[in-house]
Amino acid sequence: MNFTVALEQGNLEALRECPKADLHNHFVLGGSRKYLKEHTGRDIRPITEQLHSMNDMHAWNGQNIGNYFDTPEGRRLLIKATFTQAKEDGVTILEIGEDVWGLGAFFGGNIEELAEAFESAHKEIAPEIELRLQIGMSRHCDIAYLEDCLSHFWGCKAFYSIDLYGDELAQPIENFIPIYRRAKAEGLRLKAHVGEWGTAEDVRRAVECLELDEVQHGIAAATDPSVVRFLADNKIRLNITPTSNYLLGRVQDLKDHPIAELYRNGVDVTINSDDVLIFDSDVSKEYLRLYQSGCLTAKELDNIRKNGLKKI
């Protein structure tokens, strides 16, 4: 069944069979609920009511995940759970990766071992998926600390991209310029979380300062037509996560999600999961919810899906 018909019929199983990209997925919370239950006995429940801050999300994390997986074996289990989830969802391009602090905490400081943990799970569970391995950093971390961690990642050819996440308001984006210049010289695709909690101007500034190729979220851009035009003109991709935006109170109704405005004004947008375990937001469900809310048409959603699969 083709994708638009599957949307019109509300057929989630048929949607799962269509190829999709997931370019905004934090693997720690990206796993298959069923797989984790089978392997740990833990019942990880998604939230269903809107939260009001990242602190609420951290509280959920404390109750449901805690430090249960904070061992080398636990981390590997989460990686496998994420490939399992992506396979079940029909994801064919998956961009995930480890946070820089995880190298020392879970992989003995050995970058080859870290890359191998992802590559071996990839081969074992879903070799048909295109894996784009990412380096992740938290925005609250001290720059000297991040640079020290990153010194082990530079030069490792396994990585595709770099991303910055965590508290968007923790420190000025300009502080990260030296890191992003180096990442660019390393040939990495440059991404950062901006415009989820911040403003349209924050999105423009981050793209300009860090020379970003892609923005995780970026939805605040829709409030300023000049920033929308800037993103469209410069072909900056926004990797958007609708249910996460709704459950974190960034949008009040999926029907009014700014993805429609951004897409219809020529911005390169994709639809992604963010954190499946907390938001119950696998990519197929995200497409269906946007369709059923009336936010985007089946044709528009299919165009966005195909756009995410294009080679860049």
What residue ranges bind Zn ion (CB under 5 A)?
A: 274
- The three-state secondary structure class of 71 is coil
Q: Output 61 or 303, the one with its CB closest to Zn ion.
A: 61
Backbone dihedral angles phi then psi of residue 189, each to the nearest 5 degrees: -80, 135
The nearest distance, CB 308 to Zn ion, in angstroms, is: 16
Shorter beta-carbon distance to Zn ion: residue 214 or 274:
274
Structure token digits, residue 158 = 């396994």
Structure token digits, residue 13: 């199983």
In whole angstroms, the minimum distance from the beta carbon of 239 to Zn ion comes to: 8
For Zn ion, give the closer residue by CB, 239 or 284. Answer: 239
Residue nearest Zn ion by beta-carbon distance:
274
State the DSSP code for 101.
H
Give the nearer residue to Zn ion in terms of CB position, either 6 or 215: 215
For 169-194, b/e burial (b = at least 16 CB within 10 A) is eeeebeebeebbeebbebebbbbbbb
Least separation in angstroms between CB 110 and Zn ion: 27
Question: Which token pair is 149?
Answer: 């961690």
Nearer Cβ to Zn ion (7/141): 141
Alpha helices in the chain (DSSP H): 3-9, 12-17, 33-40, 54-64, 72-89, 100-106, 111-125, 143-150, 177-185, 200-210, 225-233, 242-247, 259-264, 276-279, 283-293, 298-309
In the complex with Zn ion, which residue's Cβ is closer, 27 or 291?
A: 27
Q: Nearest approach, Cβ of 123 to Zn ion (angstroms)?
A: 26
Nearer to Zn ion, 274 or 302 (CB): 274
Contact 14, 1 (CB under 8 A): yes
Q: Give min distance, CB of 259 to Zn ion, in A.
A: 15
Strands 91-99 and 130-138, by their bridges, are parallel
CA distance 48 to 44: 13
To Zn ion, the closest distance from the beta carbon of 197 in angstroms equals 11
CB of 2 to Zn ion, least distance (A): 30
